[in-house]
């Protein structure tokens, strides 16, 4: 992760590298589990479940481990984040003659359930964006650990399980609410794009 603190034209940049096993990078990475001989081509519609955040943990980054303050999620943000997730998935999956969102199980419907296991913000939630002299910029907003299950909607048989960590945002932006929201929406759109590409590949598109 990169921090940049600016004051006038002065720029001080530091680089902190976090190495972790099983990290999902921007490129393709094998899923944790794929059912042998799974055929996604039989699925023409998609049933996306609401984003699960019930047991989400807020973890401190490595450089805040000596900080005794408790970092907690804001439950008031949950419905808003879940709405962004659903909107992004629907937009990416249905666009340009894609895959209709289904509300009920059926033979041609694949069920997708995504759970956020933990979030590691780069700065403590509620941190002031500026003290009047310095402004904080970060490369992304933090890291998120997710688990995504793809199941047959009728039998609930597990077809694909994908787990791993992703960075929320990939550009330097000032630390503020609008940029955090943009980073989250961008990540959800990326998830939708990846699901769309997998289905398109199965259907020979």
Tokens of 31: 């899923």
pLDDT at 5: 38
Beta bridge partners of 13: 4
- What is the separation of C-alpha 26 from the centre of its chain, rounded to a whole number of angstroms? 12
pTM over 0.85: no
Is 88:119 a contact under the CB 8 Å cutoff? no
pLDDT at 69: 81
Sheet of strand 172-174, all strands in order from the earlier edge strand to the far edge:
10-15, 2-7, 135-139, 172-174
Sequence-distant (6+) residues with CB within 8 A of 54 are none
Match 């808003």 to its residue by tokens: 80
Q: What is the pLDDT of residues 131-161, one digit of tens each?
A: 555 666 655 667 888 999 999 999 999 999 9
Q: How many CB atoms lie within 10 A of CB 109?
A: 21
Q: What is the pLDDT of residues 82-133, one digit of tens each?
A: 999 999 999 999 998 899 999 999 999 999 999 999 888 777 666 666 555 5
Tell me what the mean pLDDT of segment 23-38 comes to. Answer: 62
Sequence-distant (6+) residues with CB within 8 A of 19 are none
CA–CA separation, 28 and 161 (whole Å): 14
Residue 67 or residue 47, greater confidence: 47
pLDDT at residue 26 greater than cutoff 70:
no
Share of the chain above pLDDT 70, in %: 71
Write the CA distances from 115 to 11, 78, 79, 112, integer angstroms.
38, 12, 14, 10
């Amino acid at each position: 992760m990169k921090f940049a603190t600016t004051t006038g034209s002065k720029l001080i940049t530091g680089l902190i590298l976090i190495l972790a096993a099983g990290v999902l990078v921007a490129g393709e990475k094998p899923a944790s589990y794929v059912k042998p001989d799974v055929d996604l081509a039989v699925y023409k519609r998609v049933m996306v479940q609401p984003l699960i955040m019930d047991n989400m943990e807020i973890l401190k980054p490595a450089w805040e481990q000596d900080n005794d303050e408790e970092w907690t999620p804001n439950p008031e943000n949950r419905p808003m984040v879940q709405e962004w997730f659903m909107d992004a998935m629907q937009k990416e999956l249905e666009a340009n003659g894609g895959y209709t969102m289904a509300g009920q199980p059926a033979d041609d419907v694949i069920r997708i359930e995504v759970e956020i296991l933990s979030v590691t913000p780069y700065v403590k939630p509620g941190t002031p964006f500026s003290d009047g002299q310095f402004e904080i910029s970060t490369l992304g907003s933090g890291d998120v650990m997710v688990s995504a299950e793809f199941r047959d909607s009728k039998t609930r048989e597990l077809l694909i399980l994908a787990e791993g960590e992703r960075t929320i945002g990939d550009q330097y932006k000032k630390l503020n609410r609008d940029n955090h929201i943009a980073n989250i929406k961008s990540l959800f759109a990326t998830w939708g794009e990846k699901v769309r590409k997998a289905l398109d590949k199965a259907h020979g598109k």
